[in-house]
Amino acid sequence: MHTPVRHPAATTRRPEDTDKAGDIDLGIVCVVSSVGLWLTCLVTVAVNASVLGLILVLLAGAGIAGNAWRLVTSKR
């Protein structure tokens, strides 16, 4: 019976693993996916001509823009 051997690199943390470069990449992915979903909702609401839906979509857009702005201007 073979026992799996863990590679030492899998358990030890190197200094380059703790940098913040990965955080901004994930943030950009989140913003882009949020904007794509928001555009889909906007088109759906526009087709249905719903005033309440339009207000909710615009509020969501403001939230997405706020998160994107905070991501861009955050101090590292």
Q: For residue 62, what pLDDT is reported?
A: 84
User: DSSP secondary structure string, 9-27?
Assistant: HHHSPPGGGGSSHHHHHHH
Confidence label for 4 from pLDDT (cuts 50, 70 and 90): low
Q: Are 20 and 76 in contact (CB under 8 A)?
A: yes
Domain boundaries, the chain: 22-73
Q: What is the mean pLDDT of the chain?
A: 71
Q: For residue 5, what pLDDT is reported?
A: 65
pLDDT of 39 > 60? The answer is yes
Q: Are 35 and 64 in contact (CB under 8 A)?
A: yes
Q: For residue 1, what pLDDT is reported?
A: 59
pLDDT of 36 > 60? The answer is yes
| Rg over CA atoms, the chain | 21
